[in-house]
């Protein structure tokens, strides 16, 4: 599976220095009939070659809408969004998932749901574009029966499954050791890729996640 890239993609920029052209000089005058006396002083340069001024930058402002990792609970990160002044901060659980070579292949964000509906929590699971969408994805907590979920949408960065969890499923996550995310590659529909989602620290992180109105 190819390396999955999140929506925040780091771009490597090259700094080009604009150098001014050499100053034009006037043509030399005709040589005098007598050579000038020797001197130890060097003639002044007719032009200069210097880089344009360099911008040393200023600290970036982390304004409303920017995200940051507030804390870590086990293998889960608490990803928060800075709110406008006077509003409450919104935080959700986050965990990247890697393949056998250490490449990030997928990631998952989990949040609690308010409103008293059947789904008490939601998740957004992101996978690479080269995933076979018709095969859907499955999540298996330890040795329990797998649960299958469809994909909802794709963009230029990947494809996403919007998932709802009942209370019984959340309880299983709190008691479990790991969940296995299973995907099928588009180029190899007869194969399956299993990714481990650690449940270490799930309970502490879940209890700190914000309640979101569906």
> What average pLDDT does the chain have?
79
| Lowest-pLDDT range of 18-27, 51-60, 185-194, 199-208 | 18-27
User: Scanning the structure block, which residue is given the tokens 């999140």?
Assistant: 6
Residues 78, 93 contacting (CB under 8 angstroms): yes
Q: Is the pTM of the predicted complex or chain greater than 0.75?
A: no
The answer to whether residue 5 sits within a structural domain is: no
CATH of the domain at 207: 2.60.40.1880
**How far apart are alpha carbons 43 and 54 in whole angstroms?**
30
The answer to whether residue 26 sits within a structural domain is: no
Taking residues 31-59, what's their average pLDDT? Answer: 52
48: tokens are 């200069």
Helices assigned H by DSSP within 117-189: 167-175
Question: pLDDT-based confidence at 22, cuts 50/70/90?
Answer: very low
The answer to whether residue 150 sits within a structural domain is: yes
Taking residues 41-45, what's their average pLDDT? Answer: 47
Residues 127, 158 contacting (CB under 8 angstroms): yes
- What's the pLDDT tens digit per position in 162-201? 999 999 999 999 999 999 999 999 999 999 999 999 999 9
| Lowest-pLDDT range of 20-34, 60-74, 91-105 | 20-34
Share of the chain above pLDDT 90, in %: 58
| Structural domain boundaries enclosing 186 | 94-212
Q: In the prediction, which pLDDT does 16 show?
A: 29
Residue 59 predicted with pLDDT over 50? yes
The answer to whether residue 84 sits within a structural domain is: no
Q: In the prediction, which pLDDT does 141 show?
A: 97
User: Scanning the structure block, which residue is given the tokens 């999540």?
Assistant: 139
134: tokens are 């018709």
The answer to whether residue 158 sits within a structural domain is: yes
The answer to whether residue 77 sits within a structural domain is: no
Residues 193, 183 contacting (CB under 8 angstroms): yes
Number of domains in the chain: 1
């Amino acid at each position: 599976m190819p390396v999955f890239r999140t929506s925040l993609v780091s771009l490597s920029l090259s700094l080009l220095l604009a150098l001014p052209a050499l100053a034009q000089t006037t043509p030399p005058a005709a040589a005098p009939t007598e050579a000038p006396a020797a001197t130890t002083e060097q003639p002044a340069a007719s032009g200069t070659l210097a880089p344009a001024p360099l911008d040393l930058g200023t600290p970036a402002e982390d304004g409303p809408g920017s995200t940051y990792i507030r804390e870590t609970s086990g293998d889960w990160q608490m990803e928060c969004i800075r709110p406008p002044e006077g509003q409450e901060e919104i935080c959700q659980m986050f965990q990247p998932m890697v393949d056998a070579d250490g490449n990030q292949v997928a990631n998952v964000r989990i949040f609690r749901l308010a409103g008293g509906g059947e789904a008490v929590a939601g998740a957004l699971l992101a996978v690479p574009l080269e995933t076979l969408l018709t095969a859907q994805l499955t999540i298996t907590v330890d040795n329990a029966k797998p649960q299958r979920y469809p994909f909802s949408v794709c963009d230029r960065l990947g494809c996403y499954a919007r998932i709802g969890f009942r209370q019984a499923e959340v309880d299983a996550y709190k008691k479990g050791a790991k969940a296995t995310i299973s995907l099928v590659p588009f180029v190899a529909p007869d194969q399956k890729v299993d990714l481990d989602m650690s449940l270490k620290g799930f309970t502490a992180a879940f209890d700190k996640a914000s309640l979101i109105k569906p």
